[in-house]
Amino acid sequence: MSNYHIKHLEEYFKVYRKSVREPEIFWEEIAEEHFLWRKRWNKVLSWDFQKPEIKWFEGAKLNITENCIDRHLVTKGEKTAILFEPNNPDEEAQHISYNELYKKVNRFANVLKDEGIKKGDRVCIYLPMIPELAVSVLACARIGAIHSVVFAGFSSTALSTRINDSDCKMVITSDGSFRGAKTIDLKSIVDEALEDCPDVNSVLVAKRIHSEVTMKAGRDKWLQTLLDNASSECAPELMDAEDPLFILYTSGSTGKPKGMVHTTAGYMVYTAYTFKNMFQYKENDVYWCTADIGWITGHSYIVYGPLANGATTVMFEGVPSYPDFGRFWEIIQKHKVNQFYTAPTAIRALAKEKLDFVEKYDLSSLKVIGSVGEPINEEAWHWYNDNIGKRKSPVIDTWWQTETGGIMISPIPYVTPTIPTYATLPFIGVQPAIMDEAGNELKGNQVEGRLCIKFPWPSIARTIWGNHQRYKETYFTTYKDNYFTGDGALRDATGYYRITGRVDDVIIVSGHNLGTAPIEDAINEHPAVAESAIVGFPHDIKGNALYGYVILKETGNTRDHDNLRKEINQLITEHIGPIAKLNKIQFTEGLPKTRSGKIMRRILRKIACGDTSNLGDTSTLLNPEVVERIIEEKI
């Protein structure tokens, strides 16, 4: 009996119970029936959350690209695998069939080999949302190289930090990118980054905007020329189940970004299985996720999950506002999109515009509409449900993380009844726990606390690249024998989960996770700045915006504060990228600190939100008087 496709609520409960009672038998059946293995595993699961060490399907051999491409060729070689919709609506969309994808990936894989890339080498991919991005990801996987995709909105400093952290040998980029009416000069960002990356000896450059770029002799090569000369056959490298597939960086509460490592077999099984169920994907459906492949949502639900199911996956190069605010809806009509997956920040931005932008288009092809990346507020949920789903296509509010690899808590459309703002029930095999601050599990319903997961699922990240100790401390020490998510959650009277937001110093701005430390480091580079602290405050489109408290070196500094604000944001743009710019900057003379010198962000957060009525006990502060002053000075 296959439990691969869940269609009713009773079936969900039955399969869920099985996945918890007999996880190994359950996952073994899923793995056995739905994937192509070159050698079977010896053991389904071994795990120890203390060490921590997690292994799924140990001993198995496979290649994920055989599962995502080769095995579909006999039955759906001519089916569109990737449907590329360019930034400019006047440029023709590209339908890349599975047969064509096979050739493109193999050619690219051969180019990587010719350039000296071998199994286990790290390759950094810094590309816009063009087909070469998906193809280069798959080409790495074909030969067992570990891809590290860096979102092409990050600055050169952010790029070089990531390249060096995982010691990438090669960078794949393009001359530039189109984003709405703008073009961005990606190659020169790479050139700048590489001044600090001595180990990168090869740069492959795709042509997209046909701009003049400088090519460094011996290092930089035009991708197309190499592809033209490469064979379209490349035998897949046989990978161990636990061989790393990719590294993807995510922000932490403190310190530099964490290179989360995902491995091959478990990641493949879980992303494929969740994709099938979350989107109730049926043959001939056209599926579209608007995320960028630079984020985990793009890895799991544009590339690997859909392709492992032989689906048609749309890749959109542009932005929701270009040429106007109807672009998303126009694309849905044009390609008869059946499943649509986007972020609350995009929904909120589009909900602000006139409804004409939506009503002009025929959205009747839609069957499922999803949300991911941050809590979706009630108003946005209803707007999405009423105007896009037309109260027929269920809204799935999917909670998960870079670290979890795939969707963890979410309604299954047409299976789980939905309630606005609730991620509802755990997916098959996921065992959530809600904890109090003392570390006790809050059992039963109607409880609120911190969200942990008690038992491993196949696509949990296995480590942080080069820093297993940090992996252990971040995720497995706060709550013994549990994976700690960093999120708060409640479980209501019916057992439904609602995610309440981060409980650490990660701030989600427009769906992007930002750690406070790197932003503060960037600000502190300004010669006039002595110290700074960043907190989040609610913003009606971004979800959260950033509020910076900045202490200047010279008190009573006569320099123009508006200029300083601009310079500070410029520094942040250079060090991280425009996504991390501050919405508000308050110059102040002190920051509330504990006696051990830690900044009390809780207080700063409340002040930034304008909620100063109940600041809690400030008497234990080193400098309680500073709080009053900050409130008075508030802009």
The reply on whether position 487 binds ligand WTA by CB under 6 A is yes
Interface with ligand WTA includes 459 (CB under 6 A)?
no
Which of the stretches 81-89, 184-192, 290-298, 326-334 binds ligand WTA when contact is defined by CB under 6 A?
A: 290-298
Rule CB under 6 A: say whether 401 interacts with ligand WTA.
yes
Binding piece for ligand WTA, criterion CB under 6 A, among 5-13, 47-55, 291-299, 460-468: 291-299
422 in contact with ligand WTA (CB under 6 A) = no
Select from 105-113, 348-356, 398-406, 455-463 the region that touches ligand WTA (CB under 6 A): 398-406
Q: Provide the pairing of β-strand 286-289 with 312-316.
A: parallel
Q: How far is the CB of 425 from ligand WTA (least distance, A)?
A: 13
The secondary element (H helix, E strand) that includes residue 446 is none
Q: Are the beta carbons of 281 and 275 closer than 8 angstroms?
A: yes
- Looking at the Cβ atoms of 497 and 587, the one nearer to ligand WTA is 497
- Three-state DSSP at 533 gives strand
Burial class (CB in 10 A: 0-12, 13-18, 19+), 448: middle
- Residue 297 binds ligand WTA, judged by CB under 6 A: yes
Tell the smallest beta-carbon distance from residue 295 to ligand WTA (Å). Answer: 6
Name which of 250 and 532 has its Cβ closer to ligand WTA. 250
Shortest Å, Cβ 423 to ligand WTA: 5
502: contact with ligand WTA by CB under 6 A? yes
Of 36, 44, 26, give the one whose Cα is nearest residue 61: 36
* Torsion angle of the four alpha carbons 272, 277, 279, 281, in this order, in degrees rounded to the nearest 10: 80
Which range, of 24-32, 132-140, 282-290, 482-490, touches ligand WTA by CB under 6 A?
Answer: 482-490
Bridge partners of residue 371, in order along the sequence: 342, 397
Contact status: 400 vs ligand WTA (CB under 6 A): yes
Quick one: 36 or 503, whose CB is closer to ligand WTA? 503
Tokens encoding 122: 């790290």
Q: Which residue has the tokens 């003379």?
A: 589
- Whether the CB-CB separation of 12 and 416 falls below 8 Å is answered with yes
| Residue nearest to ligand WTA as judged by C-beta position | 402
Total residues contacting ligand WTA (rule CB under 6 A)? Answer: 22
Interface pick for ligand WTA out of 459, 513, 516, 569 (rule CB under 6 A): 513
* Residue 296 binding ligand WTA, by CB under 6 A: yes
Tell me which amino acid residue 434 is: I
Contacts of 247 (CB under 8 A, 6+ apart): 122, 146, 147, 148, 166, 259, 260, 261, 262, 465
DSSP 314-350: EEE-S-TTSSSTTHHHHHHHHHT-SEEEE-HHHHHHH
Tokens representing 13 are 């409960």
Site residues (CB under 6 A) for ligand WTA, limited to 359-378? 372-375
Q: 3-class SS at 162?
A: helix
Q: Under rule CB under 6 A, which residues in 551-590 are in contact with ligand WTA? A: none
Helix/strand/coil for 29? helix
User: What's the closest the beta carbon of residue 9 comes to ligand WTA, in angstroms?
Assistant: 20
Which residue among 140, 499, 507, 529 contacts ligand WTA (CB under 6 A)? 499
Contact status: 412 vs ligand WTA (CB under 6 A): no
Q: Which of 464, 28, 484 is nearest to 266 (CA)?
A: 28
Task: Quote the least distance from Cβ 183 to ligand WTA, whole Å.
Answer: 27
Residue 486 near ligand WTA by CB under 6 A: yes
150 touches 294 (CB < 8 A): yes
Kindly identify the residues of this chain, within the stretch 215-274, that bind ligand WTA according to CB under 6 A: 250
Q: Name the minimum Å distance from CB 501 to ligand WTA.
A: 6
Using CA atoms of 102, 106, 107, 108 in order, give the dihedral in degrees to the nearest 10. Answer: 110
Q: How far is the CB of 121 from ligand WTA (least distance, A)?
A: 25
Max CA separation in the chain (angstroms): 75
Q: How many angstroms separate the CA atoms of 44 and 30, rounded? A: 11
Stretch of residues binding ligand WTA (CB under 6 A), selected from 73-81, 357-365, 392-400, 589-597: 392-400
Bond preceding residue 323 cis, omega within 30 of 0:
yes
**Tokens linked to 278:** 């979350």
Choices 1-9, 88-96, 156-164, 391-399; region in contact with ligand WTA by CB under 6 A: 391-399
Pick the stretch among 55-63, 220-228, 382-390, 479-487 that binds ligand WTA (CB under 6 A). 479-487
Among the candidate windows 21-29, 94-102, 106-114, 394-402, which touches ligand WTA by CB under 6 A?
Answer: 394-402
Q: Name the minimum Å distance from CB 342 to ligand WTA.
A: 12
Q: Are strands 258-263 and 512-515 parallel, antiparallel or unpaired?
A: unpaired
Tell me which residue has tokens 């969900």. 12
Gap between the Cα atoms of 149 and 136, Å rounded: 10
Shortest reach from residue 347's CB to ligand WTA, in Å: 12
Choose, by CB under 6 A, the member of 67, 87, 271, 402 that binds ligand WTA.
Answer: 402
* Contact call for residues 305 and 272 (beta carbons, < 8 A): yes
Write out the residues near ligand WTA by the rule CB under 6 A.
Answer: 250, 295-297, 372-375, 397-402, 423, 485-487, 499, 502, 508, 513
